[in-house]
Amino acid sequence: MDGPTPERILQVGLGFWSSKVLLSAIELELFTVLAQGPETLAGISTRIGLHPRSARDFMDTLVALDFLERRDGRYGNTPATDLFLDKNKPSYVGGILEMANARLYGFWADLTTALRTGKPQNEASKGGDDLFKALYADPDRLRSFLKAMSGLSRGANLAIARQFPWKNYKSAVDVGTAQGDLVTQVALANPHLQGIGFDLPQVGPIFEDYIADNGLAGRVRFEAGSFFDDAIPKADVVMMGHILHDWDLDVKKMLIRKAYDAVPEGGALLIYESIIDDDRSKNAFGLLMSLNMLIETPGGFDYTGADCIGWMKDAGFRDARVEHLVGPESMVIGFK
């Protein structure tokens, strides 16, 4: 029988069940433990501390969701969870999900309030410090946040290192560089380039460790500053990953103007994040990310490629285009 079915409505409506099972598995470090080898139910229950009532349901749910495999009574990681959710591998992407579990999962319970009031629903709205203040006060939390950003951005960073016409340029500055994964991947793939990571001073030591680990200390350096108070360091290409969406329209335009001033004639501005499709009907992740900016920030929002191209042209860039990177991520490139 053809016709509408309620299946997708129910699947999305109860989607938080699956989401929380995965987030709890990451919190319990299940995939890190199983990376050492498959385990029986009893063995895994002892190692990560599961109560017998629901241990089997929990593990079998992860099998049914394709995050674990079960063979001959033993549970093991899938190739994807082994590569991306074992904390001991450099390919670990769970940092961002740890943060989602510890913070966003609870804050999103107040989405309806956010939609009615237009006000964030994170630590800041609950009387605590705002996220960045809390992070910058605690070097360990800051280090894990910046590492989490690298995990989230790695795929797009590798695509940018390959796709952008780097041979036409000699230097690049990454604004709001965090641990520095973008400038690292770009410099590793393009040995002729000099790079700068620009971020708040607290980020410096974490950036410098990462650059040294990647053998780039001679070619990539840190410059401390705030993009509110300081000029963006000069380079042929200014890059900004997941920066503009944190801020309101005036700040977005101010940052694009500062980027314009930082590059020479012939230089370029490369902005990337989950750029929304111009029809605002396909990139659901980008649209959800924009709602996440409502939860997290006073004025931030995500935007379409056409919006960004408009702001770039207003700032003086002569030409601009959008190029898809990976998954929901695209870059907008403006040419001066």
Ligand X SMILES: C[S@@+](CC[C@H](N)C(=O)[O-])C[C@H]1O[C@@H](n2cnc3c(N)ncnc32)[C@H](O)[C@@H]1O
Please give the positions annotated as active site.
245
Nearer to ligand X, 81 or 177 (CB): 177
| By CB under 6 A, residue 302 contacts ligand X | no
Phi, psi angle pair for 213, to nearest 5°: -60, -30
| By CB under 6 A, residue 176 contacts ligand X | yes
Distance CA 220, CA 195 (A): 4
Nearer to ligand X, 77 or 157 (CB): 157
Report the nearest approach of ligand X to the CB of residue 160 (Å). 10
Nearer to ligand X, 16 or 228 (CB): 228
Report the nearest approach of ligand X to the CB of residue 178 (Å). 4
3-state secondary structure of 71: strand
Within residues 231-290, the interface with ligand X by CB under 6 A covers 241-243
Distance CA 248, CA 163 (A): 29
Query: Residue 121 CA to chain centroid, in angstroms?
Result: 20
**HSE (CB half, 13 Å, CA atoms) of 263?**
30
Number of residues engaging ligand X in binding (CB under 6 A): 14
Nearer to ligand X, 30 or 183 (CB): 183
- Using an 8 Å Cβ cutoff, are 81 and 69 in contact? no
Distance CA 58, CA 24 (A): 10
| By CB under 6 A, residue 203 contacts ligand X | yes
What's the angle, vertex CA 289, arms to CA 134 and CA 106, rounded to 5? 55
Report the nearest approach of ligand X to the CB of residue 17 (Å). 28
Tokens in use for 144? 């894990």
Q: Residue from 166, 210, 227, 260 that binds ligand X (CB under 6 A)? A: 227
Within residues 135-174, the interface with ligand X by CB under 6 A covers 149, 153
Nearer to ligand X, 95 or 305 (CB): 95
- Burial 312-333, CB ≥16 within 10 A → b, else e: beebebeebebbebeebbbbbb
The residue type at 178: A
Q: Residue from 86, 98, 199, 329 that binds ligand X (CB under 6 A)? A: 199
Report the nearest approach of ligand X to the CB of residue 153 (Å). 4
Alpha helices, H only, 164-300:
181-189, 204-213, 249-262, 284-296
| By CB under 6 A, residue 16 contacts ligand X | no
Which range of residues in 15-23, 158-166, 195-203, 260-268 is near ligand X by CB under 6 A? Answer: 195-203
The residue type at 213: D
| By CB under 6 A, residue 178 contacts ligand X | yes
Chain positions contacting ligand X, by CB under 6 A:
149, 153, 176-178, 199-200, 203, 226-228, 241-243
